């Protein structure tokens, strides 16, 4: 047997080049969890972790160093910017804790303003310049800045820490290493979940014991996340991307299926990422909160927002909606606060009016649902509710409501995904006025794989949760030594079916 291919690849020269390359950063090709090099490196990192995990300080420093390297690989010099934010927020929080009265408030505003200034500058400066030019006919040139990866996430995380200290929900962290650990912990660093200090900081001192159950849970979450992202989301992305480039060039049926494709894609992409992040953190003994809870099975938009991107929606609720007044300042104000909160949520996703509109649409839907629920609580409404509770009505109504909510969310995703308002309008118009049954027949003949993948995605999303839990429970009974084969099998299956080009995680760009 000739092994020259092996010895050539692993020759000293190639290894030297590979190591040098591994130490180089690339802002164009971030180091995703889905990269096999990341997985291999993380596996090797765990071997070191096994040696150090019993010494608290070493454990923390070891994870911090890996986290900083992880961030450096995607952002290079922007690591310094991140470091600057960590140092300043750490110092601000200590000052806020010490200060009293006005001074305390002043520090809070300074800290929040300081943290937000990075986000506003890097993410929104071009948006403001473009709008300023449009409105005032000025001629400022766009900056075309690189958006440091994860800035939206760690800015929100830092603000929540400052506000929690201000509200005395948690004490300011005195140990700089602890605070750095909280901010830089790599599983949640670049695309969430947005971690609250009060949930995470206590774990720094006492992570959970890594036993067989936890081992299986974490490996299982990583595998599920990889399959969701690389197998399902990336496959659907190819079709959704194709149609959204020029929606008017496609039939109504094709646009409709592209809408479904993107609806499932964004869910499998982001929840897949969250699964991997949670699995990786768990493998180190740290628990991140769940970010998704079968959101497409929600029977109304309010429930949807309790199940979708939970860490963001709860952040918006706790740090914007409730501080504004929540439902404590009258009905009209409540609707206004709801709109403001959702507009901020939309704008957080991107510096484009499409995202603002997306937030507005969801705000309107939430307000409508709130008003409708209030109506049902009145006397006349109680009658209607009685009939609603009838078993003959309840089940079909739940299905109807779920489908209605799902389709509202799906239509809103068009604005999220489209390249422009015009493109979104074209897509919806084509769907409404250029749909023919024959389109679907033709589609089935020309792209059966996409139809099958859509069916697979829908089955996973709408499959009863109880049965899923049962199934997962059985899978986790597989002995620990067999999981290496399951991992190998999963990676090969992914390789077998996925496209050569992995799409970046959608939420990396936010």
Partner 1 sequence: MESSNKPNTINDHSLGPIEGSSRGLIVWAGLVIAIPSLLIFIFSISPYTITIAGWELKKFQWGTGLESTSIENEEGLTEQDTTSFQPFAVTDTATTLTIDSLNPQPASAGGFKVSTTLTPFFNPIFNDTTKHRVLLIGDSEAGGLRYPLNDYCLANGHKLVACVEWYSATVFNFAKADTIARIIQQYKPTYVFVVMGLNELFAKDLKARSSAARLLAKKLQGIPYTWIGPANWEEDFGINDVFARAADEGTYFYTKQLVLPRADDGRHPNNKGYRIWMDSLAGWINTSAKWRIPLKTPTKRARPLKSDIIMMNAAKFRGY
- Give the chain's length: 510
37 near partner 1, rule: CB under 8 A? yes
Q: Which residue's CB is nearer to partner 1, number 133 or number 314?
A: 314
66 near partner 1, rule: CB under 8 A? no
State both tokens at 284: 């180190």
256-315 positions binding partner 1, by CB under 8 A: 271, 275, 278, 282-283, 285, 287, 289-294
102 near partner 1, rule: CB under 8 A? no
382-441 positions binding partner 1, by CB under 8 A: none
- Do 424 and 432 contact (CB within 8 A), yes or no? no
> Looking at 120, 210, 322, 364, which residue binds partner 1 (CB under 8 A)?
210
Buried/exposed 106-133: b ≥16 CB within 10 Å, e otherwise: ebbeebbebbeebbeebbbbbbebeeee
State both tokens at 149: 């990866």
> Looking at 222, 261, 276, 301, which residue binds partner 1 (CB under 8 A)?
222
> Looking at 214, 322, 376, 410, which residue binds partner 1 (CB under 8 A)?
214
> Looking at 209, 392, 433, 479, which residue binds partner 1 (CB under 8 A)?
209
- Do 215 and 399 contact (CB within 8 A), yes or no? no
199 near partner 1, rule: CB under 8 A? no
50 near partner 1, rule: CB under 8 A? yes
5 near partner 1, rule: CB under 8 A? yes
End-to-end CA distance of the chain: 50
- Do 178 and 207 contact (CB within 8 A), yes or no? no
| Gap between the Cα atoms of 7 and 1, Å rounded | 13
314-343 positions binding partner 1, by CB under 8 A: none
Buried/exposed 61-91: b ≥16 CB within 10 Å, e otherwise: ebbbebbbbbbbbbbeebbeebeebbeebbe
State both tokens at 175: 């140990």
Please pick, among 349, 362, 369, 407, the residue that the annotation labels catalytic. 349
> Looking at 390, 400, 484, 509, which residue binds partner 1 (CB under 8 A)?
484
Q: Which residue's CB is nearer to partner 1, number 157 or number 203?
A: 203
**Eight-state DSSP code of residue 110:** H
441-480 positions binding partner 1, by CB under 8 A: 447, 449-450, 465, 468-469, 472-473, 476, 480
Active site residue 349: yes
Output the smallest distance, CB 1 to partner 1, in A. Answer: 9
CB atoms within 10 A of CB 4: 8
Q: Which residue's CB is nearer to partner 1, number 28 or number 137?
A: 28
12 near partner 1, rule: CB under 8 A? no
How big is the site for partner 1, counted in residues (CB under 8 A)? Answer: 90
- CA within 13 Å, CB half, 179: 24
| Gap between the Cα atoms of 20 and 14, Å rounded | 10
Q: Which residue's CB is nearer to partner 1, number 89 or number 275?
A: 275
500 near partner 1, rule: CB under 8 A? yes
Distances (CA, A) of 356 to 102, 155, 303: 34, 19, 21
| Gap between the Cα atoms of 136 and 465, Å rounded | 54
- Do 86 and 184 contact (CB within 8 A), yes or no? yes
Output the smallest distance, CB 166 to partner 1, in A. Answer: 27
Output the smallest distance, CB 8 to partner 1, in A. Answer: 6
> Looking at 39, 320, 344, 458, which residue binds partner 1 (CB under 8 A)?
39
26 near partner 1, rule: CB under 8 A? yes
Q: Which residues are catalytic?
A: 349
């Amino acid at each position: 047997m000739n092994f020259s291919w092996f010895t050539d690849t692993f020759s000293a020269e190639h290894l030297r080049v590979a190591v040098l390359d591994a130490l180089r950063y690339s802002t164009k090709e971030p180091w995703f969890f889905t990269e096999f090099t990341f997985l291999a490196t993380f596996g090797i990192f765990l071997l070191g972790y096994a040696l150090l995990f019993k010494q608290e300080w070493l454990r923390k420093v070891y994870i911090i160093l890996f986290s900083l390297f992880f961030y450096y690989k995607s952002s290079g010099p922007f690591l310094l910017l991140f470091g600057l934010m960590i140092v300043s927020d750490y110092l601000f929080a200590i000052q806020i804790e010490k200060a009293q009265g006005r001074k305390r408030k002043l520090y809070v505003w300074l800290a929040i303003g300081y943290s937000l200034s990075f986000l506003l500058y890097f993410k929104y400066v071009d948006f403001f310049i473009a709008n300023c030019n449009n409105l005032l006919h000025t001629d400022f040139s766009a900056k075309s800045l690189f958006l440091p990866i994860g800035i939206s996430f760690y800015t929100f995380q830092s603000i929540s820490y400052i506000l929690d200290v201000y509200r005395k929900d948690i004490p300011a962290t005195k140990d700089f290493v602890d605070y750095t650990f909280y901010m830089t912990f790599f599983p949640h660093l670049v695309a969430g979940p947005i971690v609250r200090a009060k949930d995470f900081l206590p774990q720094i001192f006492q992570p959970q014991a890594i036993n067989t159950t936890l081992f299986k849970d974490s490996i299982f979450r990583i595998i599920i996340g990889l399959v969701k992202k690389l197998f399902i989301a990336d496959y659907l992305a190819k079709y959704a991307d194709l149609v959204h480039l020029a929606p008017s060039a496609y039939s109504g049926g094709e646009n409709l299926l592209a809408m479904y494709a993107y609806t499932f894609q964004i869910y499998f992409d982001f929840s897949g990422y969250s699964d991997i992040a949670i699995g990786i953190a768990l493998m180190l003994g740290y628990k991140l909160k769940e970010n998704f809870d079968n959101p497409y099975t929600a029977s109304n938009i309010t429930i949807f927002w309790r199940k979708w991107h939970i860490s963001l929606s709860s952040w918006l609720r706790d740090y914007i909606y409730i501080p504004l007044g929540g439902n404590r300042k009258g009905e009209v104000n409540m609707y206004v606060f709801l709109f403001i909160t959702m507009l901020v949520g939309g704008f957080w996703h991107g510096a484009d009016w499409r995202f603002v509109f997306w937030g507005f649409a969801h705000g309107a839907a939430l307000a409508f649902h709130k008003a409708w629920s209030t109506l049902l609580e009145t006397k006349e409404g109680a009658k209607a509710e009685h009939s609603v509770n009838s078993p003959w009505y309840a089940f079909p109504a739940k299905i109807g409501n779920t489908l209605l909510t799902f389709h509202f969310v799906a239509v809103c995703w068009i604005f999220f995904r489209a390249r422009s308002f015009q493109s979104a309008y074209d897509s919806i118009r084509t769907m409404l006025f250029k749909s023919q049954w024959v389109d679907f027949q033709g589609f089935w003949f020309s792209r059966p794989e996409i139809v099958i993948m859509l069916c697979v995605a829908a089955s996973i999303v709408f499959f009863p949760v109880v049965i899923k839990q049962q199934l997962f429970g059985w899978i986790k009974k597989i002995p620990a030594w067999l999981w290496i084969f399951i991992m190998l099998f999963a990676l090969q299956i992914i390789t077998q079916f996925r496209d050569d080009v992995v799409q970046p995680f959608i939420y990396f760009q936010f």
